[in-house]
Structure 1
Amino acid sequence: MNKIYMKKFAVVAAVIQHENKILCVQRASSKYDYISFKYEFPGGKIELGETLEEAIVREVEEELCMHIIVDSYLMTVNHDYPDFSISLNTFLCYSQNKSLQLVEHIDYQWLTADELITLDWAAADLPIVNELIKND
């Protein structure tokens, strides 16, 4: 009997805060239309030998040319998309300023927690949005 195994990825995400605003970034077009142009918290895959904190600092530096300070663990979201599954390890982070450069994303917004719900989020990021709104 053949079983189909979905690809599973362990990834990290940064909820980057600066002056009571949270950074939201918009994905570019993707081979998966269900995540194309959706907003997300920046992050990415963990490389071999990296801690979760090291991975999030590296990913944000690569994708946004931004230096962040990892403050604390927020939550992990396990989500099954149609073609892959992710375990999204999320951290509260801070930045000394709002300076950034979009390398992979097509847009960004700095929003208060109660404004987050106005964006079209990737499904895996929605539980994080809800947690941030609840704790605001």
Structure 2
Amino acid sequence: MKQHHVVAAIICHKNKYLCVQRGENKYPYVAFKYEFPGGKVEPGESNTVALRREIHEELQMDIQVGELFASVYYEYPDFAITMDSYLCTTKSPQLCLNEHIAYQWLRKEDLQTVSWAPADIPVVEKLMDVQRHDIEFTY
């Protein structure tokens, strides 16, 4: 089974979190699901560099990458991922969808109103359990 190391950005702006929706996909179990944006870490790349690169490629957005929030290992039917998710901030909520079909800025209490990709669900659950004062944002 193919294994990938990916990074994901939990981007917060004015107490809302960026959630992006995937489009049509060769793997139907992730098609049209919401996720925290990010992508694969390339050989020789640090997680932080990969995350900034992926967010710029996918969303044309600049972010500040903060601390590691959660690591998830998930086996899909055709591949497995280890996903490291980081708390991130941005000065501007402006973005351009280059790979996704939709996005929403959601308050923490509204995160479960969308259909998440399975690997992102543990991150959403942990985020919902954390008190606001337990998370430090630098922007």
For Structure 1 versus Structure 2, the TM-score category normalised by the shorter chain is: over 0.9
1:45 aligns with 2:50: no
Q: Where do 1:59-98 residues align within 5 Å?
A: 59-98=54-93
Once residues 2 and 42 of structure 2 are traced to their aligned partners in structure 1, the CA distance between those partners, rounded to angstroms, is: 16
- RMSD (Å), alpha carbons: 0.5
**For residue 40 of structure 1, what is the amino acid of its counterpart?**
E
Once residues 88 and 46 of structure 1 are traced to their aligned partners in structure 2, the CA distance between those partners, rounded to angstroms, is: 10
> Which runs of no fewer than 5 residues in structure 2 stay unpaired?
132-139
Task: State the percentage of identical aligned residues.
Answer: 50
Once residues 94 and 37 of structure 2 are traced to their aligned partners in structure 1, the CA distance between those partners, rounded to angstroms, is: 14
**For residue 13 of structure 2, what is the amino acid of its counterpart?**
H
Q: Where do 1:1-136 residues align within 5 Å?
A: 6-136=1-131
> Which runs of no fewer than 5 residues in structure 1 stay unpaired?
1-5
Secondary structure at the residue paired with 1:89? strand
Secondary structure at the residue paired with 2:32? coil
**For residue 131 of structure 1, what is the amino acid of its counterpart?**
K
1:65-87 CA distance string (max 9 Å, x none): 00000011101000000000000
1:26-46 CA distance string (max 9 Å, x none): 001100000000000000000
How far 1:54 sits from its partner (Å)?
0.5
How far 1:48 sits from its partner (Å)?
1.2
Once residues 117 and 85 of structure 1 are traced to their aligned partners in structure 2, the CA distance between those partners, rounded to angstroms, is: 24
Once residues 26 and 106 of structure 2 are traced to their aligned partners in structure 1, the CA distance between those partners, rounded to angstroms, is: 28
How far 1:22 sits from its partner (Å)?
0.2
TM-score (norm 2): 0.93
| Matched length | 131
Which has the higher Rg, Structure 1 or Structure 2? 1
Once residues 133 and 68 of structure 1 are traced to their aligned partners in structure 2, the CA distance between those partners, rounded to angstroms, is: 22
Tell me the equivalent position of 1:3: none
**For residue 32 of structure 2, what is the amino acid of its counterpart?**
F
TM-score (norm 1): 0.95
